[in-house]
Structure 1
Amino acid sequence: MQNDSDRFFVLTGGPGSGKTTLIEALRQAGFATAPEAGRGIIRHQVAIGGPALPWHDRALFAELMLSWELRSWHAAHAERGPVFFDRGAPDAIGYLRLCSLPVPDHAISAAKTFRYARRVFIAPPWPEIFAQDEERRQTIDEAMRTHDSVAGVYAELGYELVPLPLAPVEERVRFILDETGPRA
């Protein structure tokens, strides 16, 4: 019997590198997906006037990201077939390191316990498509440093990083499906 984590595929990398567009294309193709925590948390916190925002309380923001990712991981068990995640639990550690904040032991424990498929897709920085908005306030420099930080965390946790091509979304979808073998 296949371990569920073997069908949980993470797409990670810095902001503005096309991950969310790719996740949406996979969802449109009929695959189960898990949305990115960051934008969801920002929207919710802004709506309620909450403090867990990356420009207000980065540690609290990271804690909510970790919680969101664990919830997504558990919810994915109800799905049949492959599930594509827009980031995973290790991203919270990468974010904390990027911000030079302490990484709590429970975050490391979560990243070691709640595993994904060994091969993790990483979107390299892509300045030509990078854009800031109300929720993405990072600069391209911070996006590049985020890429490096999350890549380091996934590598330390024993994942194999598979760089996504800098190509149109349809080509990226084909690349992922060729690499993973799933069909909707």
Structure 2
Amino acid sequence: MNPLRVVLTGGPGSGKSTLVGRLRDRGYTGTEEAGRAIIQDQSAIDGPALPWRDKDLFAELMLSWELRSYRAAEQGTVFFDRAVPDVVGYLRLEGRPVPAHVHAAALRYRYHPQVFVAPPWPEIYRNDAERRQSPEVAERTHAAVSAAYVDYGYELVPLPMTPVEERLEFILEELGRAIS
């Protein structure tokens, strides 16, 4: 049976990672967000691939991370905390060109046609060591990644701005029979 690769996307601080964590608590497989993990790793080693040092290198590491996550999702339902088209959205947001290989990856590595989008939610938005963006940049990120998914033919399903358990139930109900 082919895996069901389900993406949760949106701007930073909109509750995606918390939701993927709760899905993991329920026994589903969920990926770790590439951007946050890369920032943690690169900060720990004083590396160059930080978004405030080298946006293009940061994007390349995110792409590599997402491709590996995709390939690791071999069976069952896997919930992705962002995915390959998010890299396109990030590059566009930063005014960077989208290299042909990034575009090719977004076309080749396909996910469930419905992508769940967490809208900007100022009441839960918090900055931390990895999330340095302002709420305004978070909103622009939401718009950029949403546009990227639409451009690659995905249907956006906005998540309700409700407690995490209600969001979780919303996703599971939307997916219905597709979940294994």
User: Residue 148 of structure 2: which of 145, 150, 153 is its match?
Assistant: 153
- How big is the alpha-carbon RMSD for the aligned residues of Structure 1 and Structure 2? 1.1
In the TM superposition, 1:78-117 aligns within 5 A as: 80-117=75-112
SS of the counterpart of 2:87? helix
Aligned to 1:34: 31
Alignment partner of 1:10: what SS?
strand
Select which of 53, 56, 61 maps to 2:58: 61
- Identity percentage over the alignment? 59
Q: Which residue identity lines up with residue 64 of structure 1 in the other structure?
A: L
Question: What is the distance in 2 between the residues matched to 1:22 and 1:162?
Answer: 15
Counterpart amino acid of residue 140 in structure 2? R
Q: CA deviation at 1:49?
A: 1.2
> Separation in 2 of the partners of 1:81 and 1:173?
17
Q: How many residues align?
A: 179
What is the distance in 2 between the residues matched to 1:100 and 1:174? 36
TM value normalised by structure 1: 0.95
- C-alpha distance in 2, partners of 1:81/1:167? 27
Residue in 1 that maps onto 2:71: 74
Match of 2:115 in 1: 120
| Secondary structure of 2:38's aligned partner | helix
* Residue 47 of structure 1: how far off its partner (Å): 1.2
Structure 2's unaligned 5+ residue stretches are: none
* CA deviation map 1:22-42 (0-9, x unaligned): 000000000011110011000
Distance 2:76 2:143 in 1: 30
Contact persistence 2:49–2:55 (CA under 8 A): yes
Residue identity in the other structure for 2:70: W
State the AA in 2 paired with 1:89: V
CA distance in 2, matches of 1:60, 1:142: 20
Structure 2 counterpart SS, 1:167: coil
2: CA distance, partners of 1:157 / 1:102: 17
1:129 aligned onto 2:134: no
Q: Which amino acid aligns with 2:145?
A: V
